[in-house]
Chain A
């Protein structure tokens, strides 16, 4: 058995009487990037939420490190707090300077005192990315982080994410519907299929 930092062993997950996820077992090694693909509605997001510990109502076991970051489909920022506070508040141990450096790293230097509503969608997503990486996560989870961006912005985000992952080397699990994206960011691709969903191949 692999000695991964992250070990997922789900026996079953159901919504009411409908089983959504069946038996799902996999490990993620240190610094490994795993892409999760599959048809929409199959339960990819549900699986991510279980892995992240957001959803605890399932049967099975998940081992994950404490230092965890999640990049949601939407930026999921605090619209009533300045950009800098959006990095500082969710990462209490972080210094002011480190947060500023984080903003600069994603190309948002000078936007510290701006509310998220004043940023473009692409900038909001980069802010969410900065928030995720600021906590120096040992495990990064991303749920279609590039969805609903136009081609050029998506490419910028993808390159930025690639660079950040290369710098920090967190173990990464991400969902995508784009095979090219999966190949580019992922060391390994897992495919979720069926009802209840299970891993293929």
Chain B
């Protein structure tokens, strides 16, 4: 078990200790409550089903936006990496979208599409596509032309080429994009929820922000951090080890 090695455990314990000391020094539960004082409100939110309902709502948005951004970003990045001409045409768009603040896209999507789920997911997706595209484009530019020639001489079908020649070469770039993708997407999802949804972690944080309830803000934020850590350890890292098997064999 990777995450039971001493270094990560000690490092998280250190972070907790820092929190305890900071809370002692502040000596004001309104500003920074002790970690253990979160347990009771956590249990209460968990028991009422409120925590799981909102976690679920956020998670569904994250999954949708992630799948869409990875799919579109992958296709665009591959096409732009392979075709210099297409790249010349699309690169300025990419630069514009890369530098457009997330907030602007979110507000515009809500204004144009309405305060609904579609707008929320599109806003997050549009925010993430340019990053995925940039990373995958790098990978597509580094594809081995000799393997391409080999596939061509053997007249391999495009499906076989994609699966056995192209995708394995892009795997490190895909994991890179996915890793960065999940982290960025859930942060943007929270902003989207904060601004215009009536469910999800972001909505709850907005609610408790207005009530100045630091404890509940922390309960909701940390719950989702834990979910994302589980995603990293239970899904991303095992998948990465699987596709890297041939390197270590």
A residues engaging B (CB < 8 A)?
49, 52-54, 66, 68-70, 72, 74, 76, 78-81, 85, 89-92, 114-115, 117-118, 135
Contact = CB atoms under 8 A, between A and B. Distances in A.
Given A54-B152, A78-B164, A85-B164, 13 more contacts: A49-B149, A52-B149, A53-B153, A54-B149, A68-B153, A69-B153, A70-B153, A76-B146, A76-B150, A81-B246, A89-B156, A90-B156, A135-B154
A89 B249 contact: no
A14 B166 CA distance: 29
Contact of A89 (B149, B160, B246): B160
Interface of B: 146-147, 149-157, 160, 164-165, 168, 171, 243, 246-247, 249
B249 A117 contact: yes
B41 to A, nearest CB: 49
Contacts of B249: 114-115, 117-118
Nearest to B247: A117
Interface centre among B147, B157, B164 (most CB of A within 10 A): B164
Contacts of A69: 153-154
Given A78-B165, A92-B157, A135-B154, A70 B149 contact: yes
Nearest to A113: B249
Contacts of B160: 89, 92
Determine the main DSSP class of B at the interface with A.
Answer: helix
A150 to B, nearest CB: 23
B154 A74 contact: no
B151 A80 contact: no
Contact of B164 (A81, A91, A115): A81
A70 B168 contact: no
A50 to B, nearest CB: 12
A80 B165 CA distance: 9
Contacts of A80: 168, 171, 243, 246
A70 B150 contact: yes
A171 to B, nearest CB: 15
B71 to A, nearest CB: 22
A7 to B, nearest CB: 18
**Smallest CB-CB A-B distances: 6 pairs:** A90-B154, A80-B168, A70-B153, A80-B246, A54-B149, A115-B246
Contacts of A89: 156, 160, 164
A54 B168 contact: no
Contacts of B156: 89-90, 92
Contacts of A49: 149
B147 A91 contact: no
A92 B161 CA distance: 12
A177 B165 CA distance: 31
A140 B79 CA distance: 32
18 contacts: A52-B153, A68-B153, A70-B150, A72-B149, A72-B150, A76-B147, A78-B147, A80-B243, A80-B246, A81-B164, A81-B168, A85-B164, A89-B164, A90-B151, A90-B154, A91-B154, A117-B247, A135-B154
Nearest to B168: A80
Nearest to A91: B154
Contact of A74 (B146, B151, B153, B155): B146
B246 A90 contact: no
Interface centre among B154, B171, B247 (most CB of A within 10 A): B154
B158 to A, nearest CB: 13
